Chain A
Amino acid sequence: MIENIVSIVQENWLLLLIGQYPNGPLGGLASTFILSVLSIVLAFPVGILLALARLSPWRAVLWPATAFVYVARGVPLLMLILWVYFMVPLLIGRTVPGFVTMLVTLVLYEAAFLSEIIRAGILALGRGQMEAARSLGHGYFGAMRWVILPQALYNMLPSILSQFVSTIKETTLGYVINVPELTFAANQINNRLLTQPFEVFAILAIVYYVICWSLTKAATTLERRIAAKRAGTRRIAPELRPQALTAEL
């Protein structure tokens, strides 16, 4: 059984890693990785904007943002994927590659969840920080940029990281619209071998588990460091400080 797994990996490692690239589209783990990272990176600024809109006193931004977040959080991801898959080509009048469909869906979906995390982070700071920034003469957005968001995002890093873990797991649903990623590659192998589904999907499970477990572990470590910083017990290395985090925004 173990030997079977090892031999499947030995024979198919390239397919699992990059799909049929360069003879076909990039797939496998590389595609999963790119899809996850792009999703979260693009969802991040959208999530911040949504969070700010949800905290806004103006109904014109508050209501649409709230409606969007409620809908995105309230429907199954698979339904959202199928909706984007069938509706977007109708709306723009041409077909869209599965990868792009999946990316758009994940960005919208993750942005809704991230916005709730970021909103909670902002609300948790309390009024004093905003008041202090405003009393020094910062405008609303200046106060957000330099005082509120660096703290809110930094405090929420563990949650943001676990959202990233969810994103990785959610890329597997790309399978239903034929996005060439890791699950898709595993299924290709399974279809070819026919008799060893347990072994093939065990490989799949192990790969996802290792990736997600290490990221969860990283989130826990981060959480501990943040707790230590709050207690003021250790100096924070510059690369862990929030300016570094928001510099790319």
Chain B
Amino acid sequence: MSVSQDAAPAMIRFSNVNKHYGQYHALVDIDASVSKGEVLVVCGPSGSGKSTLIRTVNRLEEIDSGSITFDGREVSGRVGRADLNRLRSRIGFVFQSFNLFPHLSTLENITLSPIRINGVKKDLARTKAMALLDRVGLAEKANAYPAQLSGGQQQRVAIARALAMEPPAMLFDEPTSALDPEMVGEVLAVMKGLAAEGMTMICVTHEMGFAREVADRIWFMDAGRILETADPETFFTNPQHPRAQRFLSDLRH
């Protein structure tokens, strides 16, 4: 389900985005966009700015200059507090370290935000949460606490929690990097399902198999820049940028 960049309107657009951490230039002139329904994989060596980039979309990181729009609306600059909260509720974010709320059961983790932010009725929120848990294959864990779940299960609950706000786009920040190898598959399967349903996704990941199979496009980043943008086939068989060639060859060894 390849979506051409020009045909579909942009869901997320970075225009000339720059960010520094002190002296360090973390994002350099990022100028790129993600279309509606597109599945984008961002890859590159650690410290290349991948996580920083997606964290700027919901303003977990502030940018120094440039602008970011989400679904046609300005994210950066002076956005009112209420607008920022509404914006964040429309961008699903999945963390490397899951960040489930340990004091709440699985079901409560998922229903908390729809109930408290969107004012969804408790019964309805529970019904929807159960459907989401079913979708990530964890319906029988509804009453378990995060500490009682494996890493893979926690991450699947975290995805369900983000989906509960019915966001039009999902951002994944290395969702499988903290998992034992045997649990990576179950999380990727959920992500593949989402991609197949047409969710707009940006995935920062080192799972090149997933990238190859699911991504519509790949951004390769290093030192705060997007060095190469390509469809997976081209990227994996014929990368253009020497840094990308080296990165891929390092992965194979």
A binds B: yes
- Residue numbers of A with Cβ under 8 A of B are 128-129, 131-139, 142, 146-147, 150-151, 154, 229-232, 235-236, 241-243
- CB of A136 within 8 A of CB of B148, answer no
Task: Tell me how far the C-beta of A160 lies from the nearest C-beta in chain B, rounded to whole angstroms.
Answer: 16
- CB of A137 within 8 A of CB of B88, answer yes
- CB of A134 within 8 A of CB of B88, answer yes
Interface-lining segment among B112-120, B202-210, B214-222, B223-231? B112-120
* Total chain B interface residues with beta-carbon distance under 8 A: 29
Q: A137-B89, A231-B147 are in contact. Are A131 and B161 (CB under 8 A)?
A: no
- CB of B88 within 8 A of CB of A135, answer yes
Task: Tell me how far the C-beta of A149 lies from the nearest C-beta in chain B, rounded to whole angstroms.
Answer: 10
A230: chain B residues at CB < 8 Å are 102, 147
- CB of A138 within 8 A of CB of B81, answer no
A236: chain B residues at CB < 8 Å are 145
- List 12 contacting pairs A-B, 8 Å CB cutoff, sorted by A: A128-B97, A129-B99, A134-B60, A135-B60, A136-B88, A137-B165, A146-B116, A147-B112, A151-B103, A229-B147, A235-B145, A242-B103
Contact of B85 among A138, A147, A231 (CB under 8 A): A138
- Tell me if B43 is interfacial: C-beta within 8 Å of chain A: no
- Tell me if B162 is interfacial: C-beta within 8 Å of chain A: yes
- CB of A131 within 8 A of CB of B99, answer yes
- Tell me if B101 is interfacial: C-beta within 8 Å of chain A: yes
Task: Tell me how far the C-beta of A18 lies from the nearest C-beta in chain B, rounded to whole angstroms.
Answer: 40
A150: chain B residues at CB < 8 Å are 103
Can you name the residue of chain A whose Cβ is closest to the Cβ of B113?
A: A136
In order of increasing CB-CB distance, the 6 nearest A-B pairs are A137-B89, A232-B147, A132-B99, A135-B93, A128-B99, A136-B113
- Tell me if B236 is interfacial: C-beta within 8 Å of chain A: no
- Residue numbers of B with Cβ under 8 A of A are 58, 60, 81-82, 85-86, 88-91, 93, 95, 97, 99-103, 112-113, 116-117, 145-148, 161-162, 165
Task: Tell me how far the C-beta of B65 lies from the nearest C-beta in chain A, rounded to whole angstroms.
Answer: 22
A146: chain B residues at CB < 8 Å are 112, 116
- CB of B60 within 8 A of CB of A136, answer no
Can you name the residue of chain A whose Cβ is closest to the Cβ of B158?
A: A132
Q: What separation, in Å, do the CA atoms of A44 and B97 have in the docked complex?
A: 32
B86: chain A residues at CB < 8 Å are 137
Task: Tell me how far the C-beta of A115 lies from the nearest C-beta in chain B, rounded to whole angstroms.
Answer: 21
- CB of A142 within 8 A of CB of B103, answer no
Can you name the residue of chain B whose Cβ is closest to the Cβ of A137?
A: B89
- CB of A137 within 8 A of CB of B101, answer no
Task: Tell me how far the C-beta of A235 lies from the nearest C-beta in chain B, rounded to whole angstroms.
Answer: 8
- CB of B145 within 8 A of CB of A131, answer no
Task: Tell me how far the C-beta of B20 lies from the nearest C-beta in chain A, rounded to whole angstroms.
Answer: 20
B147: chain A residues at CB < 8 Å are 229-232
- CB of A139 within 8 A of CB of B85, answer yes
Q: What separation, in Å, do the CA atoms of A203 and B85 have in the docked complex?
A: 59
Task: Tell me how far the C-beta of A148 lies from the nearest C-beta in chain B, rounded to whole angstroms.
Answer: 10
B90: chain A residues at CB < 8 Å are 137
Q: What separation, in Å, do the CA atoms of A230 and B147 have in the docked complex?
A: 7
New A-B contacts (5) at CB < 8 Å, excluding given A137-B85, A138-B85, A231-B147: A137-B86, A137-B88, A139-B81, A147-B112, A242-B103
